[in-house]
Amino acid sequence: MQTQKTTADRDLVVQVRDAVKTYGPTKALSGVTLDVRAGEVFGVVGHNGAGKSTLMRVLSGIEAVGSGTVRIGGATTPSESGFPGARMAYQEGSLALELTVYENIYLSSSSWIPDRRWHGPASRRAAARLDEIFPGHAIRPTDYVDDLTLAERQMVEIARATIADDLSLLILDEPTESLSGGAVDHLYDYVRKLRASGHAIILVSHRLKEILAICDRVAVMKDGAVVSIHQAGNVSEKDLFQVMGGEVVIDETVRSTSPAALDNKRPVAVNVSMVTTDGKATQILAHQGEVIGLAGIAGQGQEQVLDRLWRCSADAHVNVGLAYVPGDRQRSGILPIWDVARNLTITAMPGMSRNGMRQMDKEDALVAEWVDRLKVRGGAAAAITALSGGNQQKVIVARAFASDAEIILLDDPFRGVDVHTKAELYQLIKSEARRGRTIIWYSSENSEMQHCDRAYVLRAGRIAGELHGTEITDERIITLSFAEAGGPHS
């Protein structure tokens, strides 16, 4: 009887030895060594700027190391299309927005699709793979990518990465940051299927619970190096967080009710007309200094509420200035041709000018304050596109809070941000609320809503319930998200 091979006996798909990669004075990788074998899911975790995305670009063949060796499937030098058998779904997305889904599929899979009359085969492969990974999706091959939601674009990004007849290594860089719970479950079911068929999968994620649930081994990166590798079954979230260099304060200090939540006599800063799930007229209210959450399953109207506020629609009343942290960092957040400083100060400039003239000393002081306060890796002069996704997100958040706006709108602001940075930003939100700012916050992670004073649970664009303080739990949010119309609303 043939015995099953252990992980240690399986064929090496990835072999990295002492890999170093620098960008000018910045050392992104400082001697990485690791192995990944066929038939395993290998997790990679670390704070923003630890080198995770740089390492993934090296493994996919997009970037070359300055020194050390990288061997993928026996090859040490990538071709124009990367290492053989290695495909990657990118954190920031790599799709051509002006093209259709099937045209994007063909661009990266032309080797597996006939050159002549390729439209039909590309459409069929796109539809089949999307159906296989994300059953129940609503994406058509003829849809233009620019018309898709952020979650749908991520589904296409992932599906496209898997369409290769020689696939041996699939790299998923923060694949679930834009996906709802059901889509996440479907993705990981597919990952398990790939593992069972002998593929190697590398999963990069800040969601430590997901990493431990799906991975066989987990590597922790810090300052461009792999500092430890663990069997997933023998390590906890707390253990990983400590190795990453974080203080163990993950969510122990979630509750701290703002003065506004205790004093409803404060002025109403936001008033949005809404309807309950059973058809009754209601409102989303936020008093000055409150942190208000928009909760529920993704895609249930939370972002539309933020959009109504931002556009000051007739049924959304706002009595002071607004600043907005958009959910789509690449499309609506960063200004790619500018450096960190100009990205950060653009909304604060009007308040710092004198007689229409910029005051550079004030701008420089503001930039220095926020770069230091949020520990933006790379500094003020760095190109925004040279930063990791998490550090880009810090700049966008800083831009909103550095303005003089009294109301801050947050659209899933901590997507792709590590646990330690999240803890810092939660404290930032609370401190700004104590100063009297009003925060309206949508998050695709229900657990983040526990940092709010009140949370409105939305379903199909309507209010399914309102939760206060300690009532805001995953269980209550999920219950209200699926409750029948006419059920309890609080």
**Helices H, strands E: what count in the chain?**
15, 18
Extract the tokens encoding 444. Answer: 């695709």
Q: Is the pTM here over 0.95, yes or no?
A: no
> CA–CA separation, 14 vs 71, rounded Å?
6
Cα–Cα distance, 206 to 215 (Å, whole number): 13
Chain-centre distance for alpha carbon 375: 19
pLDDT for the residue 2: 41
Q: What is the pLDDT of residue 289?
A: 93
Q: Which CATH architecture has domain 259-482?
A: 3-Layer(aba) Sandwich (3.40)
Supply the DSSP string of 417-473, one letter for each residue: --HHHHHHHHHHHHHHHHTT-EEEEE-SSGGGGGGSSEEEEEETTEEEEEEEGGG--
pLDDT value of residue 403: 84
111 alpha carbon, distance to own chain's centre: 31
Please tell me the distance from the alpha carbon of residue 316 to that of residue 311, in angstroms, as a whole number. Answer: 9
Q: What is the CATH number of domain 7-244?
A: 3.40.50.300
* Per-residue CA distances from 362 to 33, 217, 341, 377 (Å): 45, 48, 12, 21
Cα–Cα distance, 488 to 57 (Å, whole number): 49
**Using CA atoms, how far apart are residues 179 and 149, in angstroms rounded to an integer?**
10
CA distance linking residue 29 with residue 119, whole number of Å: 41
pLDDT of residue 416: 65
Beta bridge partners of 237: none
Alpha carbon distances (Å) from 363 to 323, 360, 366, 379: 18, 5, 5, 14
Tokens 């018309």 map to which residue?
Answer: 147
Q: Are 16 and 33 in contact (CB under 8 A)?
A: yes
- pLDDT score of 4: 46
Q: What is the pLDDT along the chain (490 residues), one digit of tens a residue?
A: 344 444 444 589 999 999 999 877 778 899 999 999 999 999 999 876 788 888 998 998 888 888 999 999 888 888 877 888 899 998 767 888 899 999 998 887 776 776 677 888 889 889 999 999 999 898 999 999 999 888 899 999 999 999 988 899 999 988 887 787 789 999 999 999 999 999 999 999 888 889 999 999 999 998 889 999 999 999 998 888 788 765 444 444 444 555 555 556 788 999 999 999 888 999 999 999 999 999 987 778 888 999 999 888 888 888 778 888 887 666 666 777 788 888 887 777 767 777 777 778 788 888 888 888 777 777 787 888 777 777 788 888 888 888 888 999 999 887 767 777 788 888 889 999 999 999 999 987 888 899 999 999 998 889 999 999 889 988 888 788 766 444 444 4
> Quick one: tokens of 53?
């995305």
1 burial class (0-12, 13-18, 19+ CB within 10 angstroms)? exposed
The answer to whether the beta carbons of residues 211 and 177 sit under 8 Å apart is no
Q: 353 is written with which tokens?
A: 């000018």
What's the confidence (pLDDT) of residue 257? 56
The domain locations on the chain are: 7-244, 259-482
Question: 7-244 and 259-482 share one CATH topology?
Answer: yes
Task: Answer whether 420's CB lies under 8 Å from 47's CB.
Answer: yes
